[in-house]
Amino acid sequence: MLRRRNPKYSFVTLGVDALVIIGAYFLAYWFRFSGHWVSVTDIPPFLEYAKAIVLIVPVMIFVFRSNHLYSVRSPLSLMDEFFAVIRATSLLFLIVMAMTFAYREFSYSRIVILIAWCFSIVSVLLERFVIRKAEAFEKARKRDVNRLLILGINRNARKLIERIQASPRYDYKIIGILAQQKHDGEKHLESLPILGALEDFDRVVEECGITEVVLTEPNFPREKTTELMLKCESRMIGFRLVADFYGMVTSCVDIEYVGDVPLLGLKELPLDDVWNGITKRSFDLVLSAAALILLFPLMALIGLIVKLSDGGPIFYGQERVGQDGESFNLYKFRTMKPDAEAQTGPVWAKEKDDRVTLAGKILRRLNLDELPQIWNVFRGDMSLVGPRPERPHFVDQFREMIPRYMARHKIKSGITGWAQVNGLRGNTSLKERIKYDVYYMENWSLFLDFKILVRTFTAFKNAY
């Protein structure tokens, strides 16, 4: 959902960014040459380093703006801003370093640039956090929020309400809901009042001082949608139409011509590119190797606990379907009784499952049963980030029931994924899970993987 930021704060942020980076650059000079940290006999003139500011500031503005760090219409979330600052600051100082190589009249210290890069990232992140708090404080003091009216009672409406209420960064106060037609059922939806039906639109808008309207029914008749838009426009009220949360149609469409005949198809995925694939695999290999070494004592302790709990096997290997529909054995610490599915066959895990052991309940609560999958990542069966793999029994069912289900098998499965960090674990909507998996595949980047890994540790939501 689009949000607008006070332009004042975008300009303030730009100015403070420039001052902070200039300060970090000068501090790096002092740290390197005048701070007595390193013995230097021939200190280069400060003026030569000061000249570089003429280039650093314009390049900073261009790079930061290209990374949407001064957006007024749709400002970044806190986590997106965190990664965007790191990305933009790194690119800025790479450009600066390239310029120093090209400049022959003076030899700039690469150490100064490296120190300035470190200082700048930390300083920019801190000052932007302070500015965010100041902006939030001003909005709270002035009660500067949009008064939102939701049209429709459906899954889209519930999802929208849940997202807005769960995140304070959305500057909206939901006043209430209008049903599509009059009904005698519930008077509230997700604790919000149902103020009437669409025929009450004019009255509710005037009485409640509505500033934004969202229509959550994507299949609403076009004529009536146009009528609502015009009513909102005449009152200077913002109008939004929710795209189908559960739609399976992708926006990544490509056109290829055979002679003069256009052929419409799906674009190649970012991970279809060989270099992107190598980058992701290298990332997985380095992190999984480090994790296996660092977590070995913990995994050995867990293995001992599982073994002593009932004398059964430590690990549980289960066939899963991965990239290109190929099967592999996924490993977990055993959390259920031995032969738990001997009589029932493959079934979904459920809340308060009596097949789970006492040790297994603790491991599942802390997600520690998933640790052996790091070995799957190291071997190349899985990736750290990707769609969660499923058992062949369920894949055979879902491929017929759910549109685009098999599309998620175009890339390696992951220990965690975009769907999981958005709360879609366990017995949740498979259709929506597929939507998130497809979004991840079509928008993959190494920064997105970083973001998902960070959110995995900050947005715990356990399955059963």
Q: pLDDT per residue over 164-216, tens digit each?
A: 777 655 667 889 999 887 765 667 777 888 888 888 899 999 888 888 888 88
Query: Binning pLDDT at 50, 70 and 90, where does residue 291 land?
Result: very high
Question: pLDDT at position 192, please?
Answer: 86
Query: For residue 36, what are the CA distances in angstroms to 29, 30, 32, 39, 43?
Result: 12, 9, 8, 6, 11
Q: What is the pLDDT of residues 37-60, one digit of tens each?
A: 555 566 777 787 888 888 889 999
Question: pLDDT at position 248, please?
Answer: 43
Q: Find, among 461, 361, 447, the residue nearest to 88 by Cα.
A: 447
Pairing relation of β-strands 212-215 and 414-416? unpaired
Pairing relation of β-strands 172-179 and 192-197? parallel
Token digits for 264?
A: 């419409």
Q: Is the pLDDT reported for residue 130 higher than 80? A: yes
Q: What is the pLDDT of residues 300-347, one digit of tens each?
A: 999 999 888 888 888 988 899 998 888 999 999 888 877 766 555 555
Question: pLDDT at position 298, please?
Answer: 94
Neighbours of 269 (CB within 10 A): 18
Question: pLDDT at position 267, please?
Answer: 65
Q: Which H/E stretch holds residue 149?
A: strand 146-151
Q: Find, among 24, 2, 20, the residue nearest to 131 by Cα.
A: 20
Token digits for 415?
A: 């220990």
List alpha helices for 218-354, DSSP H.
222-234, 274-294, 296-310
Alpha-carbon distance 23 to 17, whole Å? 10
User: Residue 50, SS3?
Assistant: helix
Question: pLDDT at position 249, please?
Answer: 46
Q: Is the pLDDT reported for residue 409 higher than 90? A: no
Q: What is the pLDDT of residues 211-249, one digit of tens each?
A: 888 888 877 888 888 888 888 877 778 888 876 544 444
Contact 73/4 with Cβ under 8 angstroms? yes
Question: pLDDT at position 355, please?
Answer: 76
Token digits for 234?
A: 């005449």
List the chain domain ranges: 7-142, 146-241, 272-458
Find how far residue 372's CA is from the centre of its chain: 25
Q: What's at 329, amino acid-wise?
A: N
Token digits for 11?
A: 């300009």
Q: What's at 366, amino acid-wise?
A: L
The reported pTM is: 0.58
CATH number of 146-241: 3.40.50.20
Contact 316/385 with Cβ under 8 angstroms? no
Q: Is the pLDDT reported for residue 32 higher than 50? A: yes
